[in-house]
Amino acid sequence: MPTGGFSTYDAGVMQFDSIAVEWIIIIFMVGAGINFSLFHLLWLREWKGVVRDQELRVYLGLLGLATVVVMLNLMFAGDLDFGPAFRHAAFQAASIGTSTGYASTDFAIWPTLSLVIMLFLMIVGASAGSTGGGLKILRLRIAYLLARREVSRIASPRKVHLVRLNGEVVPDDKLWTIVGMLSWWAVLSMASILLLALIESSLDLETVISVAISSLGNTGPALGSLGPTQTWASLHWTSLIITSGLMWLGRLELLTVVVLLSLRVWK
DSSP string of 3-48? -----SSTTGGGGT--HHHHHHHHHHHHHHTS-HHHHHHHHTT-HH
Question: Is a pLDDT exceeding 70 seen at residue 230?
Answer: yes
% the chain with pLDDT above 70? 92
**Confidence at 261, pLDDT banded by 50, 70, 90:** low
What is the pLDDT of the chain when averaged over all its residues?
Answer: 89
Q: Which pLDDT belongs to residue 180? A: 86
Pick from 22, 178, 145, 40: which is nearest to 90 by CA?
A: 22
% the chain with pLDDT above 90? 56
Give Cβ neighbours of residue 187 (< 8 Å, ≥ 6 apart): none
Q: Which pLDDT belongs to residue 259? A: 67
The C-alpha atoms of residue 121 and residue 113 are separated, in whole angstroms, by 12
Q: Which pLDDT belongs to residue 157? A: 80
Q: Which pLDDT belongs to residue 192? A: 96
Give Cβ neighbours of residue 256 (< 8 Å, ≥ 6 apart): none
**Confidence at 262, pLDDT banded by 50, 70, 90:** low
